[in-house]
Each structure stands twice: as C-alpha cells, then as structure tokens.
C-alpha cells in the first residue's frame, strides 16, 4: 500500500479580505484567517498598487503531511498541522476547492519537486499546444495543475484557484455579468466553468466550476 500524500492546509493571499467578502467567497462576518472549504486562507493585505489588479496575489501555501520541508521549486511552503475539513458557508455556495494552478517554465522540474515534497505522483500530462502543456497531481481532494507555457518567467509560482459550487448558474446570477463571465463547458466532461473578472479586485485568478 502506498504512503498517503500531503494535503493542502492553507493558502496565503496578498489581497484585501473585504473584496473576497463582497464577491461572496467569504461570509459577511469572518475572522482574519477564515476556513474556506477546509483550507485556511491567510490575507496579508496589499502594500500599495492598484487593488483591482488580478494575479500575483497567491504568494504561498501550507501543506500537511510533508515528506520534505522547505519551498517547492521556489514556491513558499509551510508545514502545517491537520485542520478541520468542515465546509464554510458562503453566499456563492462553495462546496470545495477543485484545483490550484501553478505556473512554471519547466513542468518536469516542478513536478519532480512536488513529488519529492508531498509524495504525489504526476498523474498525466496534457499537451495543449506547441506553446503550452499541463501536468496534474493530486493533494487530498485538490488537483494541482502545473502549467508550462512558453515565455513564462524562470521558476514556479502559485497562480489561481478554482472552486466548486453547488449551483453555478445561481452563483453567476448572484455576482452579475459585470463581475463573472458567462458559464461555458469545462475541459472536464459534463461540467461548466465561469471566471471571476479582474474588476472584482481579488488579485488572484478565481474560477467557479459546477460539480
């Protein structure tokens, strides 16, 4: 029997927590490190700059059950104790984290680093185009999607999060078309996905997916 792999315990976000509340990702009243779908989100605020910008806001993570401590291919990584996996209620009806996206200039290097640290093996590689390919690992119930794209700066970095929602149409109606894109078919057969627009000011690319 293979040994269990590490699991995602927390994410560190450089963004204003209030923007996440406005978009219904957090309850109206929550503490500084809320538990969203069993993962603790730590908001460290934005030091200057335009808070409406998207990207570069997912700056680190905490993993429980690490086999090797230290950064994962340059991604700031903390070892964490096991947390409660209770689902936090949110206006959008979040029911889980589907996947976390990592950008890298070298898929194989980042994949090997993740395997060494967590015990999670590369499950498959998807050749999207001559300029892009994806590799997939799994940490507990969360898929880790490693994206290698031509022109990506050297190194690996956390990039975005995809949440599962109980009712995608209802969530999109709640947010409104100015904040979220219309749902479309996802790569996963039978599922649909919608992307929260940069205007929301989350500073992290966020998408919502049907279950």
Q: What is the number of residues in the chain?
A: 211
In the chain, the N- to C-terminal Cα span, in Å, equals: 30
Query: Does the predicted model carry a pTM greater than 0.85?
Result: yes
- Per-residue confidence (pLDDT) for residue 181, from 0 to 100: 98
Per-domain residue ranges of the chain: 7-210
Q: Could you tell me whether strands 39-43 and 35-36 are parallel, antiparallel, or unpaired per DSSP bridges?
A: antiparallel
150-194 pLDDT, tens digit each? 888 899 999 999 999 999 999 999 999 999 999 999 999 999 999
> In a 3-state reduction of DSSP, which class is residue 40?
strand
- Per-residue confidence (pLDDT) for residue 81, from 0 to 100: 77
- Per-residue confidence (pLDDT) for residue 51, from 0 to 100: 42
Rg (CA), the chain: 16
Q: Is the pLDDT at 54 greater than 50, yes or no?
A: no
- Per-residue confidence (pLDDT) for residue 132, from 0 to 100: 95
Q: Is the pLDDT at 33 greater than 60, yes or no?
A: yes
60-70 pLDDT, tens digit each? 999 999 999 99
Q: Point out which residues pair with 139 in neighbouring strands.
A: 142
Q: Is the pLDDT at 48 greater than 60, yes or no?
A: no
- Per-residue confidence (pLDDT) for residue 35, from 0 to 100: 85
User: Is the CATH number 3.20.20.70 carried by domain 7-210?
Assistant: no
Q: Could you tell me whether strands 94-104 and 142-149 are parallel, antiparallel, or unpaired per DSSP bridges?
A: parallel
- pLDDT level of residue 29 (50, 70, 90 thresholds): confident
């Amino acid at each position: 029997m293979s040994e269990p792999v590490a699991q995602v315990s927390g994410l560190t976000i450089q963004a204003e927590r209030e923007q996440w509340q406005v978009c219904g990702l957090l309850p109206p009243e929550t503490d500084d490190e809320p538990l969203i779908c069993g993962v603790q989100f730590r908001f460290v605020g934005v030091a200057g700059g335009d808070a409406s910008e998207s990207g570069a806001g997912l700056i680190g993570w905490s993993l429980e059950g690490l086999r090797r401590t230290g950064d994962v291919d340059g991604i700031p990584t903390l070892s964490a104790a096991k947390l409660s996996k209770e689902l936090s209620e949110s206006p959008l009806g979040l029911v889980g984290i589907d996947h976390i996206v990592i950008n890298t200039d070298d898929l194989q290097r980042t994949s090997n680093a993740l395997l060494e640290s967590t015990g999670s093996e590369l499950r498959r590689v998807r050749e999207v185009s001559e300029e892009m390919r994806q590799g997939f690992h799994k940490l507990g119930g969360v898929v880790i999607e490693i994206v290698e794209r031509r022109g990506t700066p050297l190194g690996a970095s956390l990039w975005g999060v995809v949440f599962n929602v109980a009712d995608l149409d209802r969530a999109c109606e709640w947010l409104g078309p100015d904040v979220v894109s219309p749902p479309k078919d996802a790569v996963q057969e039978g599922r649909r996905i919608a992307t929260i627009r940069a205007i929301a000011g989350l500073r992290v690319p966020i998408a919502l997916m049907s279950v």
